[in-house]
Chain A
């Protein structure tokens, strides 16, 4: 549909009607969601449809609101890590890292984080990025009727979850990162297992690409659906794979390298049409690039401590805490009062699974943040949905929404 017709009191102006093309129809309002299999998480779209075409839409997120920002004001800096896990729960490690970096910036510890810890943070972030994209691509394919890629990709995701579970103790909500480093070192056979898994996942990706890339149904549903121009994407503040699919070469890891990303060799894939197919292809390529980065990290990671040696920030070893009063007090103050962060404000931004994930923290010098704002890419990317689906068929909402990859926990915060 070239242009959306003007509406007067919910009816088309009769003069605009092209009698040869369509029958006069009355507009109808329907709800898509909040509880709908294709509405990831819980989001409601109020659609005004003309037959099968979307004339207008009102996207209403917020059903999964957990008060992340407000809750953070009542928790110590360390207690916030579990909350960040639940933002984008498909790639919690990146949230952990992004949040920890904001606090470290306030503490002036950014450069003091041990190199090994920085490598570990990159490793877990990239593993999380792969799990994020596996889920997004797999689920979107399933919603278009291709169930096999979903099962293949979730099997692969499960391998990575198991690896991270071995590392952190939790399958999904890791809370593995700490301010000043990470909580524990890599497990002894982490290296071999990760490389082995990456090889296997490369195989799975080849299988899935063989199933999808030239699949007539898949391409028809993806190609040319929901295109977005680079200008519009920038105006909407989009970021991540959705932005890069529009041809904008922006990746926080390249343009503002943090941790050890400047030591790694990788490419940033960009699309051209900005449609759903491009978003899909960009995600697939990003998984390959992550895999490449992981192999480099495992090759280069140095030995050493995994958390900064600063008693203000790091907890004492358990053995000392149980046996000396000094370490006991330190442990106690860390748990009860929290890390004392000097007054000030800091913003850090990292490349999350869905785009630029930022944390803005204002400290008043106590053990808890005065304000902890999260720039969640899901929320900002979801803003574009209303514009993207305009004029498309109802069934196109499914791939468009799937490729935005809105994660309720992050979008609604």
Chain B
């Protein structure tokens, strides 16, 4: 993908290693080479950032030029002949690597980046020569606290300046700079500033070595032991594409995954920390009135409570959808409620908006990942929110409530009212909020533990993949809803989440065309064999 601005639809044709390639005018040589499958080694070049050409690792030979040219900065021209594999440019790479390694500390065994390190990779591929140094290395500070999330090891830094550019260009805040000169040069915070912005951990991702480490992840898990599963960030309505890095049924970090339409290469710090929620106050077994119960007991009890309420007055039965859950979960619920039970009192729950976090970069005020999806699935763009639910509860219009998700912004008084309802059935992953007050609480799998789709604020339907199994006896919400339906005699027979999705296609407006394909199932793979990092 070309990141360069395209001034006109004009194209140029050049030859790289004997292969012709036609690219839009303004494309850099390194990007043109990628199009024909030639990866030119580089440290400072990043497709999402401006070009500085400081590392000199991407030098290539261009016919007619007296010296080797940095391919990240050289712009393609018509008739240009580029060589990336001739003796001259191939000889330059180990030379540049030797310079880079002169003062690099012998830290791999204790370095968090080891295993996904660009320096390791390029050295192994292009140099592999023994050291010729016999003078001591230049020492620099090892643990520099740059801000709330980042620690710097100045010795490991290879001065590519990617982190400076991330702060300047992605977060739009100038917080990092270079100081000193020569082999004493190092990264430092700008005068009066610290590395504290909403996108600061992207500096760790772009760092080609282990100079910048995230306090959240450092010294917790070796990168090569992690498994990776693609997914979607559930921190807000933007729906940044992410990779879940997990091991032993536990997430260790979230990193952004490239998507040109949504988040490009980045994600915000807050989104990265959403995984902590996966391990707090989780419900692991169904509960009736706060006491653990078997699944069949709890489902049967919930079905009886709901059936009694529906028989008494269908109008008094409310169903709360969850913008924290997938389209499939909400779709199963809307089928059960509307078609099987004949209930029409629908609300949408979720967390309340946080206007101050919104920016024009990635962060959205709505911190629910699937509000747009819920509206599409329910087929009602004006579906009532938590506030209306609160009023209805206060006025005593509701006799029974089936709630998906524990996030429900109710005031203390309506919450108490809800707790006193004859039937309050909650399907949620954490024992919080309304889930803690439920007559019947049914534990559901959280986002990292399910396969499904979510619709982001742009209307893009994006896939979540299951990284590992849910804790305890928790089940995916669509399966709980299916069981609940079956227990109340409804003809709901989903066996796999894919069936729910395929039934949804065509019925739900946004699920058409490209979005109507379920796509391949992705299983977790070992990060060291995924070739996605470093």
Cβ of B130 under 8 Å from chain A: yes
Q: B111-136: contact bitstring with A at CB < 8 Å (1 yes, 0 no)?
A: 00011000111011001111101000
Chain A residue numbers with a CB within 8 Å of B526 are 74
Is B131 within 8 A of A333, CB to CB? Answer: no
Across the interface, which residues of B come within 8 angstroms of A312, CB to CB? 128
Contacts A322-B106, A323-B106, A336-B115 given: A330-B529 contact, CB under 8 Å? no
Assess the B108–A329 pair: CB atoms within 8 A.
Answer: yes
Tell me the number of A-to-B contacts counted with CB atoms below 8 Å.
59
Given A329-B120, A329-B124; A324-B106 close (CB under 8 Å): yes
Taking a contact as CB atoms under 8 Å apart, the answer to whether A332 and B131 are in contact is no
Q: A324-B133, A325-B104, A327-B130 are in contact. Are A368 and B529 (CB under 8 A)?
A: yes
Bitwise interface map of B from 473 to 488 toward A, beta carbon under 8 Å scored 1, else 0: 0000000000000000
Q: Is the CB of A333 within 8 A of B120?
A: yes
Candidate in A320, A324, A326 with the most chain B CB atoms within 10 angstroms: A326
* Distance, CA A350 to CA B311, complexed state (A): 78
Max chain A C-beta neighbours (<10 A), residue from B109, B120, B127: B120
A326→B108 contact, CB < 8 A: no
Tell whether, in the assembled complex, residue A326 and residue B129 are in contact, meaning their CB atoms are under 8 Å apart: yes
Which B residues are in CB contact (< 8 Å) with A327? Answer: 130-131
- Determine whether the beta carbon of B124 is less than 8 Å from that of A325: no
Interface string of B92-107 (1 = CB under 8 A from A): 0000000001001110
Say whether A325 contacts B128, CB under 8 Å. no
Flag if B115 contacts A324 (CB, 8 Å): no
Judge whether B104 and A336 touch: CB under 8 Å: no
What are 17 residue pairs bridging A and B, where the CB atoms are less than 8 Å apart in the complex? A74-B526, A312-B128, A326-B101, A326-B123, A328-B108, A328-B109, A329-B119, A329-B120, A329-B123, A329-B124, A330-B123, A332-B114, A333-B124, A336-B114, A367-B528, A367-B529, A368-B529
The reply to whether the CB of A366 lies closer than 8 angstroms to some CB of chain B is yes
**B130's closest neighbor in chain A, by CB?**
A326
Given known contacts A320-B130, A333-B124, is B224 in contact with A325 (CB within 8 Å)?
no
- Answer yes or no: A337 CB below 8 A from chain B CBs: yes
Closest B residue to A310 using CB positions: B128
Given contacts A336-B224, A367-B529, A368-B529, contact A326 B124 (CB under 8 A): no
- CB-contacts of B249-294 with A (<8 A): none
Q: A325-B131, A332-B109, A336-B114 are in contact. List 17 more A-B contacts (CB 8 A).
A: A311-B129, A324-B106, A325-B101, A325-B108, A326-B101, A327-B130, A327-B131, A328-B108, A330-B123, A330-B124, A332-B115, A332-B120, A333-B120, A333-B121, A336-B528, A337-B224, A366-B529
CB neighbours (8 Å) of A320 from chain B are: 130-131
A325 touches B529 (CB 8 A): no
A337 near B528 (CB under 8 angstroms)?
Answer: yes
Q: Is the CB of A330 within 8 A of B106?
A: no
Interfacial chain A residues near B121, Cβ < 8 Å: 333
The residue of chain B having its C-beta at the shortest distance from the C-beta of A323 within the complex is B106
Residue of A nearest to B98 (CB): A326
Q: Does B531 contact A (CB under 8 A)?
A: yes
Given A325-B101, A336-B115, A336-B224, are A330 and B128 neighbors across the interface (CB < 8 Å)? yes
Contacting residues, chain A, for B529 (C-beta < 8 A): 366-368
Considering the complex, give the chain A residue whose CB is closest to the CB of B530. Answer: A366
Q: Which of A316, A320, A325, A333 has the most CB of B within 10 A?
A: A325
For the complex, what is the distance from the CA of A387 to the CA of B115, rounded to whole Å?
A: 53
In the complex, how many angstroms separate the beta carbon of B60 from the nearest chain A beta carbon?
A: 23
Report the minimum CB–CB distance from A206 to chain B (whole Å).
53
Q: Which residues of chain B in 494-534 are interfacial with respect to chain A, using CB atoms and an 8 Å cutoff?
A: 526, 528-529, 531
Q: How far is the CA of A327 from the CA of B123 in the complex (A)?
A: 10
Of A332, A337, A366, the residue contacting B108 (CB under 8 A) is A332
Mask of B195-223 contacts with A, CB within 8 angstroms, 1/0 = 00000000000000000000000000000
Task: Please state if A328 and B106 are interface contacts (CB–CB under 8 Å).
Answer: yes
A326 and B124 alpha carbons, distance in the complex (Å): 9
Which residues of the other chain, B, contact A366 by a CB distance below 8 angstroms?
Answer: 529, 531
In the assembled complex, the Cα of A336 lies from the Cα of B124 at a distance in Å of 12
- CB-contacts of A151-187 with B (<8 A): none
